[in-house]
């Protein structure tokens, strides 16, 4: 645990008692603060009370008297589409609002660091897609190379639940826009922006607000090294703002699909080959084509980001390449569930938006595509680049009929539920086909989360193949 510093003997309110909220309350108490907690869910309140925390209805009058700060869980809106009522009360009372990420960065450095030979480092990873894979891949590379590494944030453990880092240790954090938007302290040593595409627009008041939330990690964080995906204009803008000259190698530009030139530091992939260029010459390369855990251009972009961060931390190209070859990938992200009669069954349930689904489609050919769910803003127009890879679509979800009408130029069958979609795709599939779940939509119309949707797909596949 990382004890929270700076609130000794003072009351700190915690709103939301999921994983991050309870973790924050424990870390505050460990650091000498007096947490007072609240959640609308009675079971969550009972659990916190069972751990000895004072439960206080933060929506009542006077709830913020003598409270030093309010710590908010990431799922609670603080500005758009409307601020949570408790947060608005904190504003009115002049109480600063923060989250567990802000507490983590403000409390990380410990006195024992003065005796370390190598000060611990923090790598923070954000972006629209690929955050989890990039984070897990970098953690894997570091661990395989003998570096002490911990994985936390949106993946792995809560940020305040990790152990204090060892001498030379690295903390790899996956951070969402919800987290970067609110954290009052953001001071990573290396920060990564994988890419940008529209997502969570209601929560940020539009795409500009969404980008601004991501940009805070760099503009306010002041990392020693910034790894920036420049395949979109937002990334190019950010890389330009952070650089003081073309030679400035504090910014590492990355790309999947285009050659990057210039005297600075670049890492890019073309035709399956990763290349690192620095000061106008190539200094490293990796053939990614046969690395099973990193299929497709979207995973090659993730590989660029992890490679660049690992190089910024002092690892050599051959160390990184060896670790890439043993990376198994993550569940629900281009995860091969089974192969039978020449047909592969691939679970990419994490493809919850159009951009990530399009990249999944572009990674395979002859696709029997299972898609649909709770559609996000913006429609399906940006899927066009991936649709030539699709043989037929099998549409699930409560909006299946509407979703099917929006898929131009592809035969679509309305299946509604996963079991029916898998059965029909299996019946139609021929050797060389890929049955791919890449929904291009949220899961909440039928499932609690994308993980449950992916698990259902896997269970249906194995049952159809007689392996369940």
What is the bridge-based pairing of β-strands 121-126 and 170-174? parallel
pLDDT of residue 214: 96
Q: What is the rounded distance in angstroms from the CA atom of residue 181 to the CA atom of residue 109?
A: 22
Q: Would you say residue 2 lies in a domain?
A: no
Query: What value does the mean pLDDT take over residues 271-285?
Result: 95
| Same domain, yes or no: 88 and 116 | no
Residues 19 and 117 in one domain: no
User: Which CATH number fits the domain that encloses residue 376?
Assistant: 3.90.190.20
110 pLDDT higher than 80: no
Q: In the chain, pLDDT over 70 holds for what percent of residues?
A: 100
Please tell me whether 359 is known to bind a ligand. no
Q: What is the pLDDT of residue 277?
A: 97
Q: Are residues 191 and 207 in the same domain?
A: yes
133/117 Cα distance (integer angstroms)? 30
**In-domain check, residue 56:** yes
Are 73 and 205 members of one domain? no
209 within a domain of the structure (yes/no): yes
Tell me whether residue 154 is annotated as binding: no
> What is the CATH number for 43?
3.40.50.720
410, two tokens? 């592809």
To the question of whether residue 221 is assigned a binding role by annotation, the answer is no
Helix axes of 317-324 and 296-312: crossing angle, nearest 10 degrees: 140
Q: How far is residue 26 CA from its own chain's centroid?
A: 25
pLDDT at residue 287 tops 90: yes
Residue 4 lies in a domain: no
Statement to judge: residues 178 and 60 lie in one domain: no
Residues 141 and 289 in one domain: yes
Per residue in 318-363, pLDDT tens?
999 999 999 988 888 888 899 999 999 999 999 998 988 998 999 8
**CATH classification at residue 314:** 3.40.1190.10
pLDDT at 221 over 90: no
With a cut of 80, say whether residue 426 has pLDDT above it.
yes
State residue 468's pLDDT score.
64
Does the structure show a pLDDT above 80 at 156? Answer: no
Q: Is residue 1 part of a domain?
A: no
Contact assessment for residue 298 and residue 363, using Cβ atoms and an 8 Å cutoff: yes
Residues 291 and 405 placed together within one structural domain of the fold: no
The two tokens of residue 416 are 């509604």
Q: Is residue 365 part of a domain?
A: yes
Does any domain span residue 356? yes
The structure's pTM equals: 0.84
The answer on whether 233 is annotated among ligand-binding residues is no
5 falls within a domain: no
Average pLDDT over residues 170-191: 96
Mean pLDDT computed over every residue of the chain: 94
Tell me which of 220 and 267 has the higher pLDDT. 267
Examine the domain organization and report whether 454 and 315 are in the same domain: no
350 is in an annotated binding site: no
Length of the chain measured in residues? 468
Confidence of residue 199 (pLDDT cuts 50, 70, 90): confident
The structure tokens listed for 219 are 């503009």
Domain co-membership, 71 together with 185: no
134 annotated binding-site participant: no
Specify whether the backbone of 334 is left (phi greater than 0), alpha (psi in -120 to 50) or beta. Answer: left
What mean pLDDT do residues 442-454 have? 93
Same domain, 315 and 432: no
The answer to which of 30-44, 288-302, 382-396 has the lowest mean pLDDT is 288-302
**Cα–Cα distance for residue pair 256/310, rounded to 1 Å:** 17
**Which whole number is the average pLDDT over 88-107?**
97
Please say which residue of 45, 78, 98 terminates a domain: 98
Containing structural domain, residue 458: 335-464
| Residues in Cβ contact with 162 at an 8 Å cutoff, skipping those fewer than 6 apart | 1, 2, 150, 152, 171
Residues 275 and 402 in one domain: no
Do residues 299 and 347 both lie within one domain? no
- Residue-level pLDDT at 333: 86
| Distance of alpha carbon 335 from alpha carbon 80, whole angstroms | 34
CB atoms within 10 A of CB 280: 10
Q: Which two tokens stand for residue 420?
A: 């029916």
Give the residue with greater pLDDT, 444 vs 311.
311
Last residue within a domain, chosen from 272, 290, 324: 324
**Nearest-CA neighbor of 269 among 227, 242, 304, 313?**
304
Average pLDDT value for residue range 230-235: 96
Output the pLDDT for position 120: 96
Query: H helices of 283-353, where?
Result: 296-312, 317-324
> Token match 């595509």: residue?
369
pLDDT at 144: 97
Task: Please identify, among 64, 98, 132, the residue that sits at the C-terminal boundary of a domain.
Answer: 98
Choice among 179-183, 220-224, 413-417 with the minimum mean pLDDT: 220-224
Whole-angstrom CA distances from 366 to 21, 198, 244, 272, 354 are 45, 27, 46, 20, 19
Backbone angles phi, psi at 339, to 5 degrees: -140, 125
| Location of structure tokens 């805070």 | 216
Question: Which pLDDT belongs to residue 375?
Answer: 85
How many domains is the chain partitioned into structurally?
3
In terms of Cβ atoms closer than 10 Å to its own Cβ (0-12, 13-18, 19+), residue 145 is: middle
Does the annotation flag 118 for ligand binding? no
């Amino acid at each position: 645990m990382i004890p929270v510093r700076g609130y000794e003997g003072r009351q700190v309110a915690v709103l939301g008692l999921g994983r991050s909220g309870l973790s924050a309350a424990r870390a505050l108490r460990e650091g000498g603060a007096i947490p007072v907690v609240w959640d609308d869910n009675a079971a969550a309140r009972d659990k916190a009370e069972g751990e000895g925390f004072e439960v206080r209805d933060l929506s009542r009058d006077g709830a913020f008297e003598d409270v030093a700060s309010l710590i908010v869980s990431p799922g609670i809106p603080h500005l758009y589409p409307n601020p949570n009522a408790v947060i608005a009360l904190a504003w009115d009372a002049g109480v600063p609002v923060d989250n567990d990420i802000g507490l983590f960065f403000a409390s990380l450095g410990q006195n024992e660091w003065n005796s370390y030979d190598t000060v611990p480092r923090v790598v923070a990873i954000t972006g629209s897609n690929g955050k989890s894979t990039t984070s897990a891949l970098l953690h894997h590379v570091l661990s395989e190379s003998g570096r002490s590494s911990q994985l936390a944030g949106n993946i792995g453990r809560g940020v305040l639940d990790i152990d204090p880092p060892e001498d030379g240790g690295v903390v790899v954090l996956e951070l969402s826009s919800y987290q970067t938007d609110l954290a009052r302290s953001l001071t990573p040593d290396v920060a990564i922006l994988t890419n940008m595409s529209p997502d969570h627009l209601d929560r940020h008041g539009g795409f500009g607000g969404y980008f601004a939330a991501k940009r805070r990690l760099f503009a306010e964080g002041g990392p020693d090294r910034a790894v920036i995906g420049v395949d979109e204009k937002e990334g190019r803008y950010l890389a330009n703002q952070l650089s003081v000259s073309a030679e400035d190698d504090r910014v590492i530009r990355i790309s999947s699909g285009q050659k990057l030139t210039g005297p600075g530091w670049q890492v890019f992939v073309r035709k399956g080959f990763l290349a690192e260029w620095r000061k106008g010459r190539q200094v490293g390369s990796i053939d990614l084509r046969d690395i099973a855990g990193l299929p497709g251009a979207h995973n090659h972009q993730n590989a660029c980001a992890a490679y660049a961060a690992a190089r910024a931390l002092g690892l050599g190209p051959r160390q990184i390449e060896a670790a890439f070859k043993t990376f198994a990938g993550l569940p629900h992200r281009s995860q091969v569930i089974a192969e039978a009669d020449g047909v592969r069954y691939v679970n990419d349930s994490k493809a919850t938006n159009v951009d990530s689904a399009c990249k999944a489609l572009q990674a395979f050919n002859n696709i029997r595509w299972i898609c649909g769910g709770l559609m996000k803003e913006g429609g399906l127009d940006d899927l066009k680049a991936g649709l030539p890879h699709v043989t037929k679509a099998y549409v699930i979800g409560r909006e299946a009929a509407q979703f099917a009408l929006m898929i131009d130029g592809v035969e679509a069958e309305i299946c509604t539920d996963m079991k029916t979609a898998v059965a029909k795709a299996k019946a139609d599939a021929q050797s060389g086909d890929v049955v791919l779940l890449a929904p291009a939509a949220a899961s909440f119309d039928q499932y609690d989360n994308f993980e449950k949707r992916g698990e259902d797909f896997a269970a249906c596949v194995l049952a159809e193949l007689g392996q369940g």
